[in-house]
Structure 1
Amino acid sequence: MSRATPPSLPFPPHIHAWPDRSTLLADRELALTELHRHSLGVHRVLLLWLLALAAIIGWSLLVLPVQQFEERDPTGFLLGPVFALLGLASLSPSVIAVVLAVRRDHQIRQLLDAWLALDSAPVSDVRLRSPGLSLFWLLSSLAVAATGLWTSFGTAAGAQAGRSTYADVALDMGIGTILWLTGLIGVVKAVRHYRWALRTLGPVSTAGRR
């Protein structure tokens, strides 16, 4: 099974699709492990932060022509369109990638449910809860979201006529919004994983008796 992409849909949910139950459980465990890695792995949160950084760079480049215009920089007429194009080239793919990642998470969750429905293996399935990874997603995302909110509200509250330019306010507000949305995505993912684990695997206290 390739580690580059998550496993495909399982075979029809009956034992006759495999030569025996042990083979079914082995394939099931391998698929669930791979799907879980693709869903909640640390590399996913790092990728989310990398996309947020690319979006911040793109937004900064988009705002730069406005700063040049406010400062009456003559080079803005030549470099402004270039910076704007570079900003769009950095911002747009990041937004598209995040949207695709959210859709992919939904597909992975469907695959997890389909493989889980094939059979029951409570002892091995309990690892899918991953409370440590889920907590890491939650706490790190809360920190990112709080930083974004602090940046946005701090910029809006501290803006003063004659001292703060529109470009500076737009830059900081945009960066704060990107960070807040990035953190929100991570928080929602962590909460959804917790609810999914509770719904699918049951309460922790009874997991070992299922």
Structure 2
Amino acid sequence: MPGPTLPPPPPPAHISGWPDRAALLADRGRALEELRRRSLGVHRVLLLWLLAVAAIIGWALLVLPLQQLEQRDPTGFILGPLFAVLGLAALTPSVIAVVLAVRRDRHISQLLDAWLRLASHPPTDARLRSPGLSLFWLLSSLSLCAFGLWTAFAGAAEARPGQDAYSDVVLVMGIGLILWLTGLIGVVKAVRHYRWAVRALGPRTPTERGTTGATPAPEDQAD
């Protein structure tokens, strides 16, 4: 999930890097818009789901040796270690990428705060709220959480001793847990963005509510 280099932080207050306020606001607006896109863009949701798919594939490969042992498959002694290595190769990078993405989001929040402190420009700042994208993150992630929980609990509840292999239960519960954790990451991200917007930008004004209700803002559309 880590992407290209982020916009740099603004120069210190005692160093003036702009000839006038218009140039400052232009650079500030471009930096804030790029940071907003890197944080809440739809491509970030898709990348998170792609990492979840890679993690599910890795988990399935890790469970394969257990399935072969339960089936008393003699090839499991040869292919089991290979499947385990392939599973770790798919699962480990996905986990590392998610951890790096979480750290990157914290850095983006720090950069947003730094550029916001540089000056005040309500029309530009109002776009940072991104209510449409934030709501999309929240609803899609809640749906994924619910589906993951249903998958895990249904797989465990429907298993019958002596009829279903333990490896199948482990596989389904692992997939459900991965989906639930992926959705939880998205929910936390949406809630954190809302809390950040309230803290940094203040409550939405009646003018902003009316504008949002009348015409969808460009930043709330898919990036």
| TM-score, normalising length: structure 2 | 0.89
The reply on whether 1:159 has 2:151 as its aligned counterpart is no
What displacement does 1:173 show? 0.6
Tell me the CA shift for residue 185 of structure 1.
0.1
Report the CA distance between 1:13 and its aligned residue: 2.8
Partner of 2:219: none
Cα shift at 1:4 = 3.0
| 1:136 CA drift (Å) | 0.5
| 1:150 alignment counterpart | 150
CA distance in 1, matches of 2:4, 2:99: 20
Q: Deviations over 1:71-126 (max 9, x none)?
A: 01111111111111000000000000000000000000000000000000001111
Contact 1:15-1:21 at 8 Å conserved across structures: no
Structure 2 distance, partners of 1:38, 1:63, is: 35
More displaced 10-residue stretch of structure 1: 197-206 or 57-66: 197-206
Listed one character per residue, the Cα deviations across residues 115-164 of structure 1 (whole Å, up to 9, x for unaligned) are 00000000111111111100100000011110100011111222211012
**Which residue of the partner structure matches residue 214 of structure 2?**
none
Matched residue, 2:78: 78
Aligned equivalents of 1:14, 1:169: Cα separation in 2: 62
The residue aligned with 2:201 is 201
Partner of 1:42: 42
Which range is displaced more, 154-163 or 171-180?
Answer: 154-163
Q: Which runs of 5+ in 2 are unaligned?
A: 209-223
**Aligned equivalents of 1:17 and 1:145: distance in 2?**
46
Partner of 2:51: 51
How far did 1:9 drift?
Answer: 1.3
**How far apart in 2 are the matches of 1:58 and 1:145?**
20
Query: SS state of the match for residue 204, structure 1?
Result: coil
Whole-Å separation in 1 of the counterparts to 2:160 and 2:48:
34
Partner-residue secondary structure (3-state), 2:128: helix
Residue 63 of structure 2 aligns with an amino acid whose one-letter code is V
1:93 correspondence with 2:93: yes
> Matched residues, percent identical?
71
How many residues are matched? 206
Tell me the amino acid that sits aligned with residue 198 of structure 1: V
What amino acid does structure 1 have at the position aligned with 2:173?
M
Q: Which runs of 4+ in 1 moved over 3 A?
A: none
Write the distance in 2 (CA, Å) between the matches of 1:113 and 1:75.
57
Q: Match of 1:70, as an amino acid?
A: E
Question: Following superposition of structure 1 onto structure 2, how do residues 21-36 of structure 1 map, counting pairs within 5 Å?
Answer: 21-36=21-36
CA RMSD of aligned residues (A): 1.4
Give the aligned partner of residue 176 of structure 2. Answer: 176
Structure 1: give runs of 5+ residues left out of the alignment.
Answer: none
Pairwise CA distance, 1:64: 0.4
| Range with bigger deviation, 12-21 or 54-63 | 12-21
Distance 1:16 1:169 in 2: 62
What SS does the corresponding residue of 1:32 show, helix, strand or coil?
A: helix
Q: Is the 8 A contact 1:15 1:24 kept in 2?
A: no
Q: 1:119 to 1:14 in 2, by over 3 A?
A: farther
